[in-house]
């Protein structure tokens, strides 16, 4: 009776041990996969974070480029104002020159045949004669009458000279305003090129930001997916741990039961041996004596 029972118990214990060993192997495999998944998730998280840092730098660069372009555009706006102001002033000077030239043309038609120096000399001669020579009233009046038309002629010469000086001065101002407008225009062209270049660079940076955001999103999605896989595997790992612990508990209980049954069998065998020796009148060992005493036989 005991033989087959002990064999079954041994087989059950062996089966439990094999099952625990098998589960431990599977647990080790799961643990390795779990570690790899956690490592992969950490790598995706590090990549995502690194890309986010890169995005921050690119955004700062883009912001700086925008500020630079805004500053250039403000300078462009001011220079346009200065250029237009110079052009407007130049237009005013040109209109004034045309007006003065028209006036000069009218005076030139009235210009005396004698030049200014000759007329001035004649007037000075007549005035000197009037002041230094004793003259009769009619003679003095005659000389004065000669001076008056000469002075009128001299006035025309002076007016012509003044108009020419004014025209020359206005022409100088016009040339200066032309140069100023040209300078502002050239500066505008240079700034417009800088602005366009800055804008192009900013567009490139914004494209890199867009691409980096896509890259970061991909890394984040892979991180989330990997973490989810790891979490599912962790649950499986915990489940296997509970199964192994339950099997170990079952194995301990089975081993304790086996030890208890073995103790009973050993005690029974000891009791039978002691009774046999007692019938034959043989001397009992201390252990055999204690067994029979506990049974109330002695």
Domains of the chain by start residue, with CATH: 2-280 (1.10.287)
| Predicted pLDDT of residue 1 | 44
Non-local (6+) Cβ contacts of 277 within 8 A are 283, 284, 288
| Predicted pLDDT of residue 6 | 57
| Predicted pLDDT of residue 5 | 55
C-alpha count within 13 angstroms, C-beta hemisphere, residue 108: 8
DSSP annotation of 110:
T
**Nearest residue to 51 via CA among 215, 297, 188, 268:** 215
Q: Phi and psi dihedrals of 114, rounded to 5?
A: -75, 150
Q: What is the SS3 assignment for 297?
A: coil
| Predicted pLDDT of residue 153 | 92
d(Cα 208, Cα 193) in Å, to the nearest integer? 23
DSSP annotation of 99:
H
Model-level pTM greater than 0.85? no
| Predicted pLDDT of residue 279 | 84
Q: What is the SS3 assignment for 281?
A: coil
C-beta of residue 298 within 8 angstroms of C-beta of residue 271: no
Mean pLDDT by 10 residues, the chain (298 residues): 60 85 92 95 96 96 93 92 92 94 92 89 90 84 89 93 94 94 91 90 95 96 96 94 91 86 87 85 84 76
d(Cα 223, Cα 217) in Å, to the nearest integer? 10
Ramachandran class of 92: left when φ > 0, alpha when ψ lies in -120 to 50, beta otherwise: alpha
């Amino acid at each position: 009776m005991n033989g087959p029972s002990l064999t079954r118990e041994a087989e059950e214990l062996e089966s439990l041990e094999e099952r625990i060993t098998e589960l431990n192997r599977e647990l080790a495999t799961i643990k390795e996969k779990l570690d790899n998944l956690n490592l992969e998730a950490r790598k995706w998280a590090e990549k995502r974070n690194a890309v986010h840092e890169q995005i921050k730098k690119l955004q700062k660069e883009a912001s700086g480029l925008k500020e630079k372009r805004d500053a250039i555009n403000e300078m462009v706006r001011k220079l346009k104002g200065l250029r237009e102001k110079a052009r407007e002033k130049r237009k005013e000077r040109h209109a004034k020159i045309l007006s003065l030239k028209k006036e000069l043309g009218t005076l030139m038609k009235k210009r005396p045949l004698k030049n200014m120096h000759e007329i001035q000399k004649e007037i000075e001669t007549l005035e000197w004669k009037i002041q230094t020579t004793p003259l009769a009233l009619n003679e003095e009046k005659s000389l004065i009458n000669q001076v008056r038309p000469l002075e009128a002629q001299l006035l025309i010469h002076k007016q012509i000279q003044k108009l020419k000086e004014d025209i020359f001065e206005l022409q100088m101002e016009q040339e200066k305003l032309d140069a100023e407008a040209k300078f502002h225009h050239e500066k505008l062209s240079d700034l417009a090129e800088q602005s366009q270049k800055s804008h192009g660079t900013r567009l490139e940076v914004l494209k890199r930001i867009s691409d980096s955001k896509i890259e970061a999103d991909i890394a984040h999605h892979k991180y989330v997916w990997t973490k989810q896989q790891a979490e599912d595997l962790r649950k499986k790992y915990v489940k296997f741990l509970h199964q192994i612990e339950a099997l170990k508990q079952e194995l301990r209980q089975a081993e304790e039961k086996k030890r208890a049954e073995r103790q009973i069998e050993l005690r029974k065998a000891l009791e039978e041996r002691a009774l046999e020796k007692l019938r034959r009148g043989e001397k009992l060992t201390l252990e055999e004596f204690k067994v029979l005493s506990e049974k109330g036989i002695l």
